[in-house]
């Protein structure tokens, strides 16, 4: 049994069968990559995991509990954090404030009316945030407006915000899309570090083969809304079916 069990999931948008018979099991503390050509249904699948979409059929179990019908915030409180394709951070707030919010959310739950206490009096939360900024090498940027940072730094902050909640499953949606080579490599290094140092399961959707083969322990290839192959990275590379569906004849 994996920590995330996807069974017979199907999703239809009008005349388009975006997903059909998706069966997938993500093992605890592994890094599982989901790859596939454009329109294969990768993002649809991810949205079904985080509560943005509800599949028409099948089940999605996280740690023995169904996530279907729950809102994104409830699913996050279960222990799933998501990193977006374009970094979703609180652009108007400072880096420090960005880091405080997920820690408050982890401590206080989905809603708490603490309207009179001062943020500055929450020493423990601030310490945790400082530590996470330190770990992300962003301590010197803590008073900066988050929107003013580079794409790579925003990504780093977003990953830090997710990690500060100590999730059990981290979902990454093309974490290096639109990044310069140097930023991509930094992000890969960061993710490798996270994988080694933490008890965390990572599921990653990615286009960039370099990223996939540097990180993944296990790869699922999705094509036309259904899993084509699931195997270890070295076997995926040589698999002719994958080449045909995804990498194209020329690869």
Partner 1 sequence: MLGLNKKDVTLLTFVAVLALFAPFILNPFPEGSAMAQFNAGYPDLMQRFAIFGIFAIGFNLLFGLTGYLSFGHAAFLGIGSYAVVWMYKLLDYNVLWGLPLAVVISGIFALGIGYVSLRRSGIYFSILTLAFAQMMFAISYSDLLGRFVGTTITNGETGLQVYTSDPQILLGANEPNTPHLFGLVMNNSFFLEVGAWQFTFNVGYYFSAIVMLVMFYLSVRIFRSPFGLMLRAIKSNNTRMSYTGLNPRPYTLAVFVISGMYAGLAGGLMAAMDPLAGAERMQWTASGEVVLMTILGGTGTLIGPVLGAGFIKYFENIFSKINDNVLHQWFSFMPDGLEDAMVFIVHPFIGKGWHLTLGILFMLVVIFLPGGLVEGGQRLAAWIRSKRGGAEENTKSSTEPAE
| Contact footprint for partner 1 (CB under 8 A) | 50, 71-73, 76-77, 81-82, 84, 88-94, 97, 100-102, 104-106, 108-122, 143, 145, 161, 165
Nearest by Cα to 174 from 201, 210, 224: 210
Beta bridge partners of 229: 221
Cβ–Cβ < 8 Å for 2, 26: yes
Q: How many CB atoms are located within 10 Å of the residue 98 CB? A: 26
Of 69 and 238, CB closest to partner 1? 69
For the bound state, the minimum distance from the C-beta of residue 72 to partner 1, rounded and expressed in Å, comes to: 4
Nearer to partner 1, 90 or 213 (CB): 90
Instruction: List Cα–Cα distances, 146 to 96, 156, 250, in angstroms.
Output: 9, 11, 42
Q: How far is the CB of 213 from partner 1 (least distance, A)?
A: 28
CB of 100 to partner 1, least distance (A): 7
Q: Please name every residue paired with 62 in a beta bridge, in sequence order, or none if there are none.
A: 4, 65
| Closer of 76 and 220 to partner 1 (Cβ) | 76
Q: Which is nearer to partner 1, 97 or 217 (CB)?
A: 97
Residue 37 Cβ, how far from partner 1 at the closest point, in Å? 26
Q: What b/e string do you get for 99-126 counting C-beta neighbours within 10 Å, with b at 16 or more?
A: bbbbbebbeeeeeeeeeeeeeeebeebb
Cα–Cα distance, 183 to 206 (Å, whole number): 15
When the beta carbons of 6 and 75 are compared against partner 1, the nearer one is 75
How far apart are CB 71 and partner 1 at their closest, in Å? Answer: 7
- The nearest distance, CB 108 to partner 1, in angstroms, is 8
| Long-range Cβ pairs for the range 36-40 (8 Å, 24+) | 36/221, 36/222, 36/223, 36/228, 36/245, 36/246, 37/223, 37/245, 37/246, 39/224, 40/222, 40/223, 40/224, 40/225
Q: Which is nearer to partner 1, 23 or 77 (CB)?
A: 77
């Amino acid at each position: 049994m994996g920590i995330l069990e996807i069974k017979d999931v199907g999703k239809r948008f009008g005349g388009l069968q975006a997903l059909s018979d998706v069966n997938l099991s993500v093992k605890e503390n592994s890094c599982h990559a989901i790859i596939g050509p454009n329109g294969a249904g990768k993002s649809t699948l991810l949205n079904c995991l985080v509560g943005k979409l509800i599949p028409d059929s099948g089940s999605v179990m996280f740690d023995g509990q169904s996530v279907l019908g729950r809102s994104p915030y409830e699913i996050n409180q279960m222990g799933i954090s998501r990193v977006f394709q374009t970094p979703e951070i609180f652009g108007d707030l400072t880096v420090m404030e960005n880091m405080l919010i997920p820690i408050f959310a982890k401590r206080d739950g989905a809603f708490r009316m603490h309207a009179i206490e001062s943020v500055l009096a929450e020493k423990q939360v601030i310490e945790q945030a400082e530590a996470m900024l330190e770990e992300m090498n962003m301590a010197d940027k803590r008073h900066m407006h988050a929107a003013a940072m580079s794409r790579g730094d925003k990504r780093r902050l977003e990953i830090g915000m997710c990690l500060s909640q100590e999730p059990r499953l981290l979902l990454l949606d093309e974490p290096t899309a639109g990044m310069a080579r140097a930023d991509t490599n930094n992000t890969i290094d960061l993710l490798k570090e996270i994988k080694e140092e933490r008890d965390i399961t990572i599921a990653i959707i990615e286009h960039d083969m370099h990223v996939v083969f540097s990180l993944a322990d296990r790869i699922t290839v999705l094509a036309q809304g259904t899993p084509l192959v699931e195997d270890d990275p070295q076997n995926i590379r040589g698999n002719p079916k994958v080449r045909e569906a995804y990498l194209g004849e020329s690869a």
